[in-house]
Amino acid sequence: MAERATLIENRLREAFAPLKIEVRDDSHQHAGHAGAKSGGGHFAVTIVSPRFQGKTAVQRHQMIYQSLGDLMKKEIHALSIQAFTPDEF
């Protein structure tokens, strides 16, 4: 599971050059959940990037989903996102 969190973090670092990033693997809290059975993990992301400037929360989430691409299909079942600009954090 740690590899997944690292993979997520690397993708987000590449896409957003964040000033702060935290990726937490919460998969252990969802053992037995239908999504966990298919192999996808549950993750929480906090990310601070100037690239979110002028974007709504929905647009920020869409940007993150797009940067994770294929990981959203198999590696990630659920993703909680907190995305901020530097002046919001």
Q: Where are the domains of the chain?
A: 2-88
What does the pLDDT read at residue 47?
Answer: 98
Is-contact 45 8, C-beta < 8 A?
yes
d(CA 65, CA 79): 9
What does the pLDDT read at residue 74?
Answer: 84
- List, for residues 3-53, the tens digit of each pLDDT value: 999 999 999 999 999 999 999 999 877 565 554 556 678 899 999 999 999
Q: Which fold has domain 2-88?
A: GMP Synthetase; Chain A, domain 3 (3.30.300)
pLDDT mean over 58-76: 94
